[in-house]
């Protein structure tokens, strides 16, 4: 993030995100540290109304606790047939402390009530017997906060796809096995980390952030 620096602090406790950021920054020779690597991290209440609000909350609290710039990611799945749910509640869709399995089960239950889309309205190329339940998109808001000059840098990335009626693949995390990516004809759970990065909401938001930083450097905008 900073010229000459080789460590990026990511304000997250999600091991799946840490893996993806570590993979992305390794290309530049940068190491990633997360909230797992420090003692005394704040207990963050993500009570923002938008992904961007929550990303700013996480970046600010961790950066201030450490006295270092911190990058935060707030992300989630917006499902068309559910009016944009689970959205900012994606991590706790099935209740506070819910794991990926319970959140995925809840998503299938909610969409199951509506039934599958007519085949003609879904994406092409689904495996035999698999049906799409709704269009959906992943959203990722990134916020990088530098406590030295109290500046925020922010970007957003999106990935469009479909929710399927069953999980396929074991890769990634969260809702990945249920999320069909038309460009690959596979779910995000079936993609390698590199492939996911190339089309994911997180990969796109990060690409934008890095492009901006390479133009202006970290401290250019206040």
Among 24, 69, 73, 218, binds ligand ITT (CB under 6 A): 73
Per the annotation, does 75 bind a ligand?
Answer: yes
| Secondary structure class of 150 (helix, strand, coil) | coil
Rg (CA), the chain: 18
Q: Which tokens hold the place of 149?
A: 């000059």
Strand partners, 164: 132
**Residues ≥6 apart with Cβ < 8 Å to 43:** none
- Give Cβ neighbours of residue 37 (< 8 Å, ≥ 6 apart): none
Judged by beta carbon distances under 5 to 8 A according to partner kind, the member of ligand ITT, Mg ion, none in contact with residue 174 is: ligand ITT
Residue among 10, 37, 13 at smallest CA distance from 22:
10
Q: Does residue 10 touch Mg ion according to CB under 5 A?
A: no
Q: What is the DSSP string of 91-129?
A: GGTTSTT--HHHHHHHHHHHHHTT-PPPGGGS-TTPPTT
Known active-site residue 74? yes
> Is residue 103 close enough to count as binding ligand ITT by CB under 6 A?
yes
Which residue from 8, 59, 91, 178 is in contact with Mg ion, where contact means CB under 5 A? 91
Q: Does 190 help bind ligand ITT (rule: CB under 6 A)?
A: no
Contacts of 172 (CB under 8 A, 6+ apart): 16, 188, 189, 191, 196
Site size toward ligand ITT (CB under 6 A) is: 22
Catalytic residue among 43, 73, 74, 165: 74
- The reply on whether position 75 binds ligand ITT by CB under 6 A is yes
Is position 176 an interface residue for ligand ITT (rule: CB under 6 A)?
yes
In the complex, least distance from residue 132 CB atom to Mg ion, rounded to whole angstroms: 27
Q: Is 59 in the site for Mg ion (CB under 5 A)?
A: no
Say how many CA atoms lie within 13 Å of 46 toward its Cβ: 23
Site string for ligand ITT, 131-170 (x = CB under 6 A): -------x--------------------------------
Residues classed as catalytic: 74
Binding-site residues from annotation for substrate: 12-17, 75, 173-176, 196, 201-202
Please give the residue ranges that form the binding site for ligand ITT (CB under 6 A): 12-14, 17, 46, 73-77, 90-91, 103, 138, 172-176, 188, 200, 202
């Amino acid at each position: 993030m900073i010229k000459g620096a080789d460590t990026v602090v990511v304000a997250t406790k999600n091991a799946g995100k840490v893996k993806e950021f570590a993979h992305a920054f390794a290309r530049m020779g940068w190491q990633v540290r997360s909230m797992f690597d420090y003692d005394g991290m704040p207990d963050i209440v993500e009570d923002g109304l938008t992904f961007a609000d929550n990303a700013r909350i996480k970046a600010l609290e961790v950066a201030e606790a450490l006295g270092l710039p911190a990058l935060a990611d707030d992300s989630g799945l917006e499902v068309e047939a559910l009016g944009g749910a689970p959205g900012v509640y994606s991590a706790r869709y099935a209740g506070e402390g819910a794991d990926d399995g319970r959140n995925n089960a809840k998503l299938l239950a909610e969409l199951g009530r509506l039934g599958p889309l007519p085949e003609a309205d879904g994406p092409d190329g689904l495996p035999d017997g698999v049906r799409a339940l709704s269009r959906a998109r992943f959203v990722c808001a990134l916020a990088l906060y530098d406590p030295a000059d109290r500046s925020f840098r922010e970007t957003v990335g999106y990935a469009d796809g479909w929710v399927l009626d069953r999980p396929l693949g074991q890769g990634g995390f969260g809702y990945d096995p249920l999320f069909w990516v038309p460009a690959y004809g596979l779910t995000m759970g079936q993609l390698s980390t590199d492939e996911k990065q190339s089309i994911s909401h997180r990969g796109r938001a990060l690409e934008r952030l890095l492009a901006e930083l390479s133009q202006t450097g970290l401290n250019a905008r206040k």
